Amino acid sequence: MANTEMFIRDLADKHGRRRESLMPILQEVIDARRYVDDEVMVNIAKELDLSAAEVYGTASFYSFIETEEVGHYVIRICKTIVCDMKGKDAIIEAIENTLKIKLGQTTPDKKFTFKTTNCLGWCHKGPAMLINDDVYSELTPEKAIEIIESYMHK
């Protein structure tokens, strides 16, 4: 897709073509497209003179660089101990029921992907979750449903 080629070339123009440009480029792809696919990685490899395997190996290391297709909104609920103690399981259940998908899945309309993540740094206000870059803390099942529903209508 010529589209992707141009997109990556522009990003390389912006961030540079050195190895240390790789993360900023990958991160901006995530911002724009939510995940990197093989075409993106091949084009990054070309621009930065890396092997495609190296780009893949680096991208797959990072939990927030998705290498499989995800939805427009990626919900990441914190599963680390304090959020767990404060009832993350009930939140998960509420969100699963609202979106009619299980953890790790994407809704058929590709709008939402629901995942867990490690400590978000909101332990004093758990349970917490991210939707893309936005934080939601002190969740209750009701509050979580309300938030998800507001995204459904976006």
Partner 1 sequence: MEKMINLTINNLPVTVEEGTTILQAARQLNIRIPTLCNHEDLCVAGNCRVCVVEQVGMRTLQASCATPVRENMQILTNSMQVRQARKTIIELLLSEHNADCTKCYKNGKCELQDLANEYRTGNQVYIDLVPLKHYTIDQSSPSILKDDSKCIRCQRCVRTCAELQAVSALSAAYKGSEMKISSFYERPMHEVVCTNCGQCINRCPTGALIEKNYIDEVWDAIYNPTKHVVVQTAPAVRVALGEELGFEPGARVTGKLVAALRRLGFDSVLDTDFTADLTIMEEGTELLTRLKKVLVDGDKNTALPMFTSCSPGWIKFIEHTFPELLPNLSTCKSPQQMFGALAKTWYAQKKGINPKDMVSVSIMPCTAKKFEATRPEMRDSGYQDVDYVLTTRELAIMIKQAGIEFMKLEDEDYDSFMGESTGAAVIFGATGGVMEAALRTAYEIVTGREVPFTNLNITPVRGMEGVREATIKVENVKPEWSFLEGAEVKVAVAHGLANAKQLMTAIRDGKAQYHFVEIMACPGGCLGGGGQPIPTSPAIRQKRAEAIYAEDEGLPIRKSHENPEIVQIYREFLSEPLGHRSHELLHTHYKPRKRY
Partner 2 sequence: MEATKLRRVDFVFRPDNTSIDVLRKTLKRDADDIILELIDSGLKGRGGAGFLTGLKWKLAKEAAGDIKYVICNADEGEPGTFKDREILDRVPRRVLTGMAICAHTIGAKEGFIYLRAEYKFLAHKLKAVMAEMNEEFKKLGLDFSVSLRYGSGAYVCGEETALIDSMEGRRGEPRNKPPFPVTAGYLNKPTVVNNVETFVNCCIIANIGADEYKKFGTDNSRGFKLFSVSGDCSKEGVFELELGMTLADFVEEFGDGDTKAVQVGGASGFCVPRKKFKDTIIGFEGIPTGGSMKIFNSTRSMYNVLHNYLEFFEEESCGQCTPCRVGCQQLIKGIEAVKRKEKPAGYLDELVKLAKVMKVASKCGLGQSVGNAFVSIVENFREEIVY
Q: Which residues bind partner 2 (CB under 8 A)?
A: 18-24, 26-27, 30, 48, 57-58, 61-65, 79-82, 84-85, 117-126, 130, 133-135
- Which of 76, 77, 50 lies closest to 64, judged by CA? 76
Q: Using CB distances below 5 to 8 A depending on partner kind, what does residue 64 bind out of partner 2, partner 1, none?
A: partner 2
Q: Using CB distances below 5 to 8 A depending on partner kind, what does residue 45 bind out of partner 1, partner 2, none?
A: partner 1
Q: Which of residues 22-61 bind partner 1 (CB under 8 A)?
A: 38, 41-42, 45-46, 50-58, 60-61
Nearer to partner 1, 21 or 58 (CB): 58
Peptide bond connecting 127 to the previous residue in cis, omega within 30 degrees of 0: yes
Nearer to partner 2, 97 or 140 (CB): 140
CA distance 18 to 84: 41
Nearer to partner 2, 27 or 107 (CB): 27
Find the shortest distance in angstroms from Cβ 9 to partner 2: 17
Q: What's the token pair of residue 147?
A: 């938030």
CB-based contact 62:24 (threshold 8 Å): no
| The length of the chain, given as a count of residues | 154
User: Applying CB under 8 A, does 1 fall inside the site for partner 1?
Assistant: no
Q: At which residue do the structure tokens 């790789």 appear?
A: 22
Q: Is 144 exposed, middle or buried (0-12, 13-18, 19+ CB in 10 A)?
A: buried
Nearer to partner 2, 26 or 98 (CB): 26
Q: What angle do CA 124, 72, 29 make, to 5 degrees?
A: 95
Interaction site with partner 1 (CB under 8 A): 38, 41-42, 45-46, 50-58, 60-61, 67
